[in-house]
Structure 1
Amino acid sequence: MKTLKEDVRSRIVMAARSEFVKCGYRKTSMRTISAKSGVVLGNIYNYFKTKDDIFCAVLRPLLSVIGECMAEHSKGEHEEKRLDFSRQRQKEFLSSMLRIIFLYKEELRLLLFESQGTSLENFRENFIDEQVAISRTYMEQVETSVSPLFFRISASTWLTIIGEIVSRPDLQQEEVRQALTEYIRYNTAGWQELIKK
């Protein structure tokens, strides 16, 4: 059972999410969040110091899932010092991607396209930097040399693909599944080729 404090925070976050999705971060005012949540404006500041804090609270579940997926994705491969190119691993990765995209489609759109002026505005660059670091460490372990720029391009491509999907409301889940399946196969073949050289 939620405490009163948790209930009020939840109402603020839900109202803010709705407004951020509809109007974007910059065009959503604290007054609107107050009106939509039914929480007096002055009282909102007892729960969140700034609109940015509310934006981060809206995106926290997504960011948590992304962090967990990144940790899980890199953990096993680094421990075993080999990439798993099996169809089963590809299916698991696809399933994970689809789950994130369809559970957090609006949050992803906010994060990728509406976070300017927030503490999350550098998410894209930070994500790419983290992926480059993970990839470099792995390639050093298997004694394969790949250009750091290639790692950046690879990580950036994934963000572009996700951005393309979440910015198009007309896409059906099956169409997304097919496109991601094809890209994962295409990408896997490329990594296999790089590891062999």
Structure 2
Amino acid sequence: MQILKDNVRNSIIKYAEEEFLEKGFTDASLRTIAARVGISVSTIYSYYKNKDELMTAVCRPFIDSMMQITKERHSESTTLEDMMDIEKQQETAKLFISFVTKYRDIIRLILYKSEGSTVNNFRDNYTDATTAHILWFFGKMKMKYPHINTDISTFFIHANCAWMLSIIGEMASHDLSDSELDKFASDFVHFSTSGWASLFGVDVK
């Protein structure tokens, strides 16, 4: 019975994603989603209390993974050497590109087709949460490396976090070749690593 419920839930998510992408949150129809799944609208309501909750469920894997990646990349175990190592940062960038490719449709849904839903607040919520986490991270880094400069504008950090979402949106919106993505990753890592090194007052490896 649980397997059947999971299959129904997965089908609802699958066809809801298609409907939201096609029509946007506001114009998406639960009746259409139910028809595509082969169930009644009331069955959808037995899984999700409303369309907004369904939209959140569709986007939840990306939202949770995005926050997890941010915390893992900026944790107490992160070293200054890792942050300034171009090769390591390029490997991280390639993994991140794979992540964006995996969630490409969900990213476009959240950033461009979620108006009217709770998910539409993701951009602001993520930017605020990430800004707070980076400030915490810089405090930890200053304790480990007293010689580095962490007196960096909070608004600069905030704007940088918002900028990252814009980059993700652009990556999800363009059909880039593997070579274009590799070149982007290389250029971005050199640009960002050198910039943070300059702000910290340290050298790039």
Question: TM-score normalized by structure 1?
Answer: 0.89
Residue in 2 that maps onto 1:105 = 104
CA distance in 1, matches of 2:57, 2:110: 12
CA distance in 2, matches of 1:134, 1:125: 14
Say if 2:21 and 2:109, in contact at 8 Å, map to a contact too.
yes
Higher relative contact order (CA 8 A, sep 6+): 2
Q: What CA deviation, in whole Å up to 9, does each residue of 1:107-133 have, x standing for no partner? A: 011111122221222111111112211
CA distance in 1, matches of 2:79, 2:15: 46
Residue in 2 that maps onto 1:129 = 128
1:46 Cα deviation (Å)? 0.9
CA distance in 2, matches of 1:14, 1:176: 27
Q: What CA deviation, in whole Å up to 9, does each residue of 1:18-75 have, x standing for no partner? A: 1112222122111111111111112211111111111111112212321221121111
Alignment RMSD = 2.0
Change (3 A) 1:27 1:4: same
Say if 1:13 and 1:58, in contact at 8 Å, map to a contact too.
yes
Residue in 1 that maps onto 2:28 = 28
Secondary structure at the aligned position of 1:46 is classed as: helix
Between the two proteins, the alignment pairs up a number of residues equal to 194
User: Please, which moves more after superposition, 62-71 or 180-189?
Assistant: 62-71
Q: What CA deviation, in whole Å up to 9, does each residue of 1:62-89 have, x standing for no partner? A: 12321221121111xx345636211232
Say if 1:139 and 1:146, in contact at 8 Å, map to a contact too.
no
CA distance in 2, matches of 1:177, 1:20: 31
Secondary structure at the aligned position of 1:18 is classed as: helix
Change (3 A) 1:49 1:130: same
CA distance in 2, matches of 1:81, 1:176: 26
Secondary structure at the aligned position of 1:98 is classed as: helix
In structure 1, runs of 5+ residues without a counterpart are none
1:177 Cα deviation (Å)? 2.7
Residue in 1 that maps onto 2:173 = 167
Residue in 1 that maps onto 2:58 = 58
Say if 2:24 and 2:109, in contact at 8 Å, map to a contact too.
yes
In structure 2, runs of 5+ residues without a counterpart are 143-148
Question: TM-score normalized by structure 2?
Answer: 0.86
Percent of aligned pairs with the same residue? 29
Say if 2:131 and 2:157, in contact at 8 Å, map to a contact too.
yes
After the TM superposition, which parts of structure 1 deviate over 4 Å for at least 4 consecutive aligned residues? none
Secondary structure at the aligned position of 1:115 is classed as: coil
CA distance in 2, matches of 1:97, 1:116: 26
CA distance in 1, matches of 2:15, 2:116: 20
Residue in 2 that maps onto 1:157 = 163
Output aligned runs, 1:19-98, within 5 Å. Answer: 19-75=19-75, 78-79=76-77, 82=80, 84-98=83-97
Determine if the alignment matches structure 1 residue 177 to structure 2 residue 193.
no
